[in-house]
A and B are shown apart, each in its own frame.
Chain A
């Protein structure tokens, strides 16, 4: 029985950790939908956003105002990206845009470190990364409070964004642009406004993801690379799907924990780092559009 309980605990903590991946992946999905490009700068945005947030708190701003100033800053980053990067590259190929996002990433990393320095900061959200007593008492499971909070926040963000896409005019415009930017433009949907909204939203998602990761691992440069963990998540879930980002994150989170605990010892441990990529390769072979990716509709 304790054996089974331990398995449940591994799965649950894996799922909860997975929501952190989902959060990062969500930022990629937003931009992929609008620009059909993989945004290599997403990791840098996560780093930039949370470093700015911590920087504002160090200046003496309380938590909530610091958060909103950071949100405003990410809106500004979105605005500058639209004006300085996307607009001059309009009608260029997706590959060009992809390269531009790599450049944007370097710029953001550099700016963040120039403004706030390179040392690792501690971010205290007031939620500890330790098990909740109440859950230990009732279910006998050790579940981290931070994991639980992160998954709640991720859930709220995801539901909010999904509702926005499905039911608002802006959302309809975004989905239209995702399908065919040229046709969207021909009926008067302003592409630059849509890009502005999407990049700003991705910036806010990056901020939230950065805060969750920063609280666990410290606010440091490694966050940039951590964002690449979203790649297998996106391959499994599908690049263009918000539900895909969530489920992909959960699958990666749970499998990597289970594999680490039960199979890891045979490989000398630390398979967490590469197991998700192996899983992603299987998806690429057998279901390249991902679980929830939009099937390519092609009339012949």
Chain B
């Protein structure tokens, strides 16, 4: 749509306030280049989920509001849209904690993902086959009630469901949460495969810095609503401060970028 921009998503100096009083984001700017995987890193309460919800317009349901700055997705200014509009524009968020429809079967969950598209029965079956091609373990579980499947399977259901909307961009909120390392690896392999084969751009919020950076092209580290550092995934992985603060290779008692800045200015 916007030919002179290589970024599918541009966020500029965004501030988010919940309930008119609590500022969750102060000044977050980031770009997601078309077809790339970008990791958004930070601890609990850093503002990762808030950033994603600001983009997908899910904030309104939690009484949050973008009070400053701008978000531009695929040439469109994100402002008054609702989540349904955003899904139609090709942006789907996979919420933190998987959030499967527990009483629906795995297959019904996945089909529900195509709700925003007008598809015939046979189109849906074609799409289902395609999705099962990426998420192979789900094929055998298609008739199981989603609430009774394992955490890894539920995460797959959540991503598969989002893929049924035929997104140009996925927002993944902590896909590794509560999963064993092999499962995390499996999920990230699928995510990378979707990125390469389907050309889906991905913005990934993660606490698991190591895994996220190994699977991303670019990374942003945020703390208490500010972007502290950004760079290519490779640079960040080898950055001494990132190693110390986020990868657990610590030498002193410094815990976050605030402490680092304080020390450096002293």
Contacts and interface: CB of A to CB of B under 8 A. Distances in A.
Interface of A: 90-91, 169, 172-173, 175-176, 178-180, 182-190, 294, 297, 299
Given A175-B103, A299-B151, 8 more contacts: A172-B104, A184-B101, A184-B112, A186-B56, A186-B92, A187-B115, A294-B103, A297-B145
A19 to B, nearest CB: 26
Contact of A297 (B82, B84, B148, B161): B148
Interface of B: 56, 58, 60-63, 82-84, 86-88, 92-95, 99-104, 108-109, 111-113, 115-116, 145, 147-148, 151, 158, 161-162, 164-165
B8 to A, nearest CB: 18
A187 B113 contact: yes
A190 B83 CA distance: 8
B93 A186 contact: yes
Given A172-B112, A175-B101, A187-B113, A182 B162 contact: no
B103 A297 contact: yes
B111 A172 contact: yes
Given A187-B161, A188-B83, A189-B84, A182 B95 contact: yes
A185 B147 contact: no
Contacts of A176: 101, 104, 109, 112, 115
Q: Interface of chain A, helix or strand or loop or mixed?
A: helix
Contact of A188 (B62, B111, B115, B158): B115
Contacts of B101: 175-176, 179-180, 183-184
Contacts of A190: 82, 84
A190 B113 CA distance: 12
Nearest to B94: A186
A187 B102 contact: no
Contact of B84 (A91, A178, A179, A185): A185
A188 B88 contact: yes
30 contacts: A91-B61, A169-B115, A173-B115, A175-B101, A176-B115, A178-B103, A179-B103, A180-B99, A182-B99, A183-B100, A184-B112, A185-B61, A185-B83, A185-B84, A186-B58, A186-B92, A186-B95, A186-B99, A187-B87, A187-B92, A187-B161, A187-B165, A188-B87, A188-B115, A189-B112, A189-B115, A294-B103, A297-B102, A297-B147, A299-B147
A183 B61 contact: no
Contacts of B87: 186-188
A190 B84 CA distance: 6
Nearest to A181: B61
A189 B151 CA distance: 24
A216 B145 CA distance: 43
A90 B103 CA distance: 23
A133 B86 CA distance: 63
Contacts of B63: 91
B108 A187 contact: no
Given A90-B61, A169-B115, A183-B99, A188 B104 contact: no
A10 B145 CA distance: 41
Contacts of B95: 182-183, 186
A60 B201 CA distance: 63
A185 B58 contact: yes
**7 shortest A-B CB distances, which residue pairs?**
A188-B87, A188-B116, A297-B147, A183-B99, A179-B101, A297-B102, A190-B84
A203 to B, nearest CB: 24
B88 A182 contact: no
Contacts of A189: 84, 112, 115-116
A178 B93 CA distance: 19
Contacts of A186: 56, 58, 83, 87, 92-95, 99, 162
Contacts of B94: 186
B103 A172 contact: no
Contacts of A180: 99-102
A290 B207 CA distance: 41
Contact of B108 (A90, A172, A185, A299): A172
A179 B88 contact: no
A187 B63 CA distance: 19
A293 to B, nearest CB: 11
Contacts of A91: 60-63
B58 A187 contact: no
